[in-house]
Structure 1
């Protein structure tokens, strides 16, 4: 019992340091000597709400004061890192002692991820689970041990052929196209691309989520989807277009892109131009297009192996976690999907650790059976 009391006392002490740091803006002075602090990263917008679960002091005014004093400079990245880190520390320092050990406990096992694979023009499938190099129709296909496959050609290829990279749920994979463009595909995604590009346009088709670092050229690079096309010359952007999602998004990091959206109910289209820091969100069935400023670090956190959600509904969070770990998620009631929270944690912590933190932050419980996760109150 004394050990529990000591943990609670320590957590409250850290929380008081946070309150003081947020009040005077002197965040750099807060650095508790804890491994958890240096392991966790995050976003602090709802930090005060999580801390209030364990103590009664009011941090909302201080938090808003600190954010107002430091925006828009990207120096907030350090603040984000330590703010949510300590929030997790506070929650973990107390919460783990009271986390249910019955149905809500997730057994420490990781599901084996399926290998990404290529489908070549003749239908041949190549699993990308080992290092390999092969010549195919004038091309050299090279797969490394670092999760990246590339298409290279030294001489003029007789004709372009269509290929597909399939990335199943539970894994990620990178591709270097013949023009040097790099694409990183998130779990449950596919990219259809030619072995070489033509002289008029460089066109690929995306289903799922992809991070594109496009090699600059006078030949336009176009990412197509049934609901949204993105046209660039050379830039870095993130596109999310899962067939089952109600919204398609494009987030621009560098350069400039033209986004054209296609309605699913009629033949109308809408076009907008994005500059860095803007995100286009399109609802195909309603034909609604919105453009807003976003935190690109949060939107592309998955590229760094992180989950970062700020004031996001639990239903959306669990959809992403389900894809990332090849899990089937069901909710006992629709109301549970609307619970909002913030969470930021490294993906390699595993889904068991992630679900524990969600439980502590929201109070919902999880039950695991095989690769099925049931969410209940």
Structure 2
């Protein structure tokens, strides 16, 4: 098995794999759980083939880009020129601050719960079985989700609002009292009542969240997004991306139906709203990239550099400042969200970016004389 994979990896590196051979390699990666995948670079470099750790990360990036595009890591410019980047041609850039940057670790699970009483609780996946919430009920963490169970003494007339915030470099998952589930990305928040009313379920989202609604015909589920617009569930799973610092807010429907304004969206349809309030709708071929962050990946597909750098800043908790103009390019690919920041910057160095770290700030500029 190892000899066969060794030969396949050599062929993959030189672009000589057949479709069947590529599927074999991907099947091998799919058979690994996340912990084993983290150890993969050491296994391969010591026992199989002389791949650098960075090259392996790039290999994994290529494999997780989707079935039709899995064999390429590519970006395109405004002139629509497509440049294919071969793993074998990677050259590592040097920026002289690798030790300092290595202290910026990838994000992890964690959040802060603020109760309607004013009390705060840190959620880190280790709170154990149950925590009493000052007569309001109990919270527990099970199967990776925080679950809130209100006290029987709390009535539906209770107007208290609880809030969960994911700081920079944190993600969190919660199950609401009605069974609906919410994934919160870094730098995001959700506000939800102590109990839902008999005729309405309403939450407020800031930042990015993936929502799986437990549909109840008689009780609508309403999501307020940044106080800019609302989403009404009609049996649904959808992703919301609405960071205040981004130019565009979007809602992508994965399953079911939702209503935004007077429009009803079907699966794979996306609603967008610009900063000046202009809205539009479009249909996607595949919505996976919109919620792949819930599966342990950072999505960069079709992303301009400014948006990409904001995402890096949120996930690695590093202050980023852009110097001058960046290349007019978009980058495509998905990377594991546990990739070290230094490895990610080395990859981006091959896409026309220079990095300089000083005064606790990562300065980013476009390379000169890019060919």
| Residues 31-40 or 164-173, more deviating | 31-40
Cα distance, 1:177–1:370 mapped onto 2, change above 3 Å: farther
Q: Which residue in the other structure is 1:236 paired with?
A: 237
Q: How far, CA to CA, are the matches of 2:256 and 2:242 in structure 1?
A: 21
Match of 1:40 in 2: 61
CA positional deviation for 1:358:
1.4
Distance of 1:139 and 1:276 partners within structure 2: 37
Which has the larger share of helix?
1
**Superposed CA offset, 1:224-265 (max 9, x none):** 0222211004311001111222211000110000013xxxxx
Question: How many residues are paired up?
Answer: 314
Match of 2:147 in 1: 150
Equivalent positions of 1:126-275 (< 5 A) are: 126-129=121-124, 130-132=126-128, 133-136=130-133, 138-144=135-141, 148-153=145-150, 155=152, 157-158=154-155, 159-160=157-158, 161-218=160-217, 219-225=219-225, 226-260=227-261, 271-275=262-266
Once the two structures are TM-superposed, the CA of residue 306 in structure 1 deviates from its matched residue by 0.7
> Match of 1:348, SS?
coil
Instruction: Measure the CA separation in 2 of the matches of 1:375 and 1:124.
Output: 40
* 1:24 equivalent in structure 2: none
Distance 1:127 1:16, change over 3 A: closer
Distance 1:91 1:240 in 2: 32
Say yes or no: does 1:374 pair with 2:371.
no
Alignment-derived partner of residue 92 in structure 2: 99
Q: Tell me, yes or no, if structure 1 residue 347 matches structure 2 residue 337.
A: yes
Task: Give me the whole-angstrom Cα distance separating, in 1, the residues matched to 2:87 and 2:106.
Answer: 27
Report matched runs for 1:99-118 at 5 Å: 99-103=92-96, 105=98, 107-111=101-105, 115-118=110-113
What's the CA shift for 1:12? 9.1
Distance 2:92 2:282 in 1: 40
CA distance in 1, matches of 2:326, 2:95: 23
Moved over 6 A (4+): 10-13, 32-35
Indicate whether 1:319 and 2:313 are aligned. no
* Aligned equivalent of 1:121: 116
**Secondary structure of the corresponding residue to residue 204 of structure 2:** strand
1:214 deviation in Å? 0.7
Q: CA deviation at 1:143?
A: 3.8
Note if contact 1:172-1:185 (Cα within 8 Å) is conserved in structure 2: yes
Report the aligned-residue RMSD: 3.2
Residue 29 (structure 1) aligns with: 21
Q: Structure 1 unaligned runs (5+)?
A: 1-9, 22-26, 45-76, 261-270
Q: Deviations over 1:28-69 (max 9, x none)?
A: 23467877377334576xxxxxxxxxxxxxxxxxxxxxxxxx
The alpha carbon displacement at 1:277 in A equals 0.9
Aligned-pair distance for 1:321?
Answer: 1.3
Q: Cα distance 1:16–1:178, how it changes in 2: closer, same or farther (>3 A)?
A: closer
CA distance in 1, matches of 2:311, 2:333: 13
Distance 1:375 1:153, change over 3 A: same
Q: Which runs of 5+ in 2 are unaligned?
A: 1-8, 26-47, 75-83
1:357 to 347, 363, 371: 347
CA pair 13-137 structure 1, distance change in 2 beyond 3 A: closer
CA distance in structure 2 between the aligned counterparts of 1:80 and 1:140, rounded to whole angstroms: 48
State whether residues 174 and 182 of structure 2, in contact with CA within 8 Å, keep that contact through their aligned partners in structure 1. yes
- The separation in 1 between residues aligned to 2:302 and 2:85, in whole angstroms, is 19
